[in-house]
Structures are given as C-alpha cells and as structure tokens.
C-alpha cells in the first residue's frame, strides 16, 4: 500500500483511535517486504494509535530492519515459527531457513532488551499435525528467551482454512455451529489498493463493499449491505446460507489459541 493512501486511512480512523485496539500492518502477505513499513508504523503512532502490530516470517528481520521497527514505535511483533526443529519448520514453511529465522528472532529480542524499547515479541506457532508433537519443546525453548514482563508470549494458533471448502491439513474441524465472527462485527480489512474486504481470509475481494478512498471505513462497517446480510444470517444460525462462511473454520480456531488478538495495547 502506498504511503499516501495509508496516511489517508490513518487520518480517517484517528477520531476512533480510543476504540481501536490494534492497527495490524499485515494482511496475508509478508510486511517486512514493504520498504515503507517503518514509516507506516511511525505515521500510525503520530496519529495517536497505541496498538500497532504486525506478524512476520522473520526471513527479512535483519538487524537494520529490526532496528527500524523498534525505532518507529512498533507495539507488538509476532514472529511465525512453526517448529522446534529445522525439519519440521521447513516442511511447513517452504523455502525458509529455520536457523536464520531463529537467529533473527533472538537478535531482535536482544536488541529490544538492550535499547529498552517497548515492543512486545510474540513467538507464534501455527499448530497442525506436522508440528503438534513439538509444542512442549517449542514452548520451553522460547519461554526461556522472552520476557513476559514486557508483554512477550509464546503463542499458539490452530491452522485454519480460507473460507473455502478445501483447507490445509490440520485445520480445526468444523463441529460447532458458527453464529459469530469477529471480522463481521469489529474488524475492518483493507487491501493494498484501498478496497474494503469482508474479512481476514477474503484475499480475492469477494464482494464490492467499497474503497477507503471514497467511503468512511467505520460507516461502511455499520451500514454496508454485505456486512448487514452476513451478520443477520450468521447471528440467526443461518451461516450455511453464506457462501464463504459456511466452509470457514476461522472463528473456531480463534477459540483454540492461548491468546486473544483483542488484547489491548498496554
């Protein structure tokens, strides 16, 4: 997303800053590939947002990049590592280098500690059959390297599908009837071109909801026929009538974490 557009969004949302728990600077992509990521963090800070977070695969989390995130005032960095061993992590996250990622994460923590920066570090595993057995070792290893007093965590989130029938192996089974999804009631997803998406798994722009350049995001969340229809059907137990939601296990996986994304910035 261009910095100019991001700036417009921050201006638009600034009046709601006290009610916005987090500005999340990643969609389904890798935010550290964005050369302007530090500028965006600083910009969000300058508009008074306290909670600013992003999640990364840490491949690009080299010293200078990490320094930039800390200096810009990032509130929380979530580092995705999916195994306690090289074999497991690299079997899940193809074309990554487990050793380099672990090194990048540890160096970032050391830099954060040395500089007394306020950035929380969460090390997060996406749980699935390939790595479930490694969770105890993973949790023990990373617990010895983080600092809970600074808000750090070793976090766990279950693998989920993407609002489609097919999913990835290990996605939470859809046993429960879904009558609520945070995305429909309390989150706004904005694509890089400004288009408002339905939710976190709507990578393709399933609906014409509007573009942030032309509409107010909060007004759209409150009045868009797309959101109103989804809320109404879901809340009345008719999720099976919704094309994407009827296949989706995201709300279920949110119940299977050892954390909640909604935790407010400190």
Q: Which residues sit at the interface with ligand SF4, rule CB under 6 A?
A: 163, 178, 181, 183-184, 198-201, 244-245, 248, 250-251
**Closest C-alpha among 35, 75, 25 to residue 55:** 25
Q: Which two tokens stand for residue 100?
A: 């380099």
Nearest residue (CB) to ligand SF4, 85 versus 186: 186
What is the nearest approach in angstroms of ligand SF4 to the Cβ of residue 106? 33
What is the nearest approach in angstroms of ligand SF4 to the Cβ of residue 235? 12
Nearest residue (CB) to ligand SF4, 102 versus 171: 171
What is the nearest approach in angstroms of ligand SF4 to the Cβ of residue 214? 22
Nearest residue (CB) to ligand SF4, 135 versus 206: 206
CA dihedral 174→202→53→259, nearest 10 degrees, is -10
Q: Which two tokens stand for residue 140?
A: 């023990």
Task: Answer for the pair 100, 108: CB distance below 8 angstroms, yes or no.
Answer: no
For 195, which DSSP code?
B
Q: Which two tokens stand for residue 118?
A: 């306020």
Rounded Cα gap, residues 114 and 191, in angstroms = 36
Nearest residue (CB) to ligand SF4, 140 versus 168: 168
Q: How far are the Cα atoms of 101, 107, 149, 168, 189 from residue 113, in angstroms, in the given order?
A: 18, 10, 12, 37, 32
What is the nearest approach in angstroms of ligand SF4 to the Cβ of residue 200? 6
φ, ψ of residue 80 in degrees (nearest 5): -90, 115
Nearest residue (CB) to ligand SF4, 84 versus 201: 201
What is the nearest approach in angstroms of ligand SF4 to the Cβ of residue 46? 31
């Amino acid at each position: 997303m261009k910095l100019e557009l991001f700036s417009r969004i921050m201006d638009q949302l600034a009046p709601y800053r006290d009610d916005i728990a987090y500005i999340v600077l990643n969609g389904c992509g890798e935010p550290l590939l964005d050369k302007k990521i530090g500028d965006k963090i600083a910009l969000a800070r300058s508009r008074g947002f306290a909670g600013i977070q992003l999640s990364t695969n840490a491949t690009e989390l080299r010293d200078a990049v990490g320094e930039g995130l800390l200096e810009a005032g990032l509130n929380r960095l979530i580092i995705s590592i999916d195994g306690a061993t090289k074999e497991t992590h690299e079997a899940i996250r193809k074309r990554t280098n487990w050793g380099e990622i672990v090194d990048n994460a540890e160096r970032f923590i050391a830099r954060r500690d040395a500089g007394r920066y306020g950035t929380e570090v969460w090390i997060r595993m996406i749980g699935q059959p390939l790595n479930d057995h490694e969770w105890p070792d993973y949790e023990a290893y990373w617990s010895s390297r983080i600092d809970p007093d600074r808000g750090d965590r070793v976090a766990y989130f279950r693998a989920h599908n993407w609002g489609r029938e097919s999913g990835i192996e290990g996605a939470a089974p859809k046993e429960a009837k879904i009558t609520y999804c945070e995305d429909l009631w309390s989150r706004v997803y904005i694509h890089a071109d400004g288009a408002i998406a339905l939710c976190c798994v709507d990578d393709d722009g399933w609906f014409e909801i509007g573009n942030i350049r032309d509409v107010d995001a909060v007004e759209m969340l409150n009045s868009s026929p797309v959101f109103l229809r989804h809320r109404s059907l879901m809340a009345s137990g008719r999720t099976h009538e919704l094309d994407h939601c009827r296949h989706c296990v995201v709300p279920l996986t949110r119940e299977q974490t050892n954390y909640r994304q909604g935790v407010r910035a400190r």
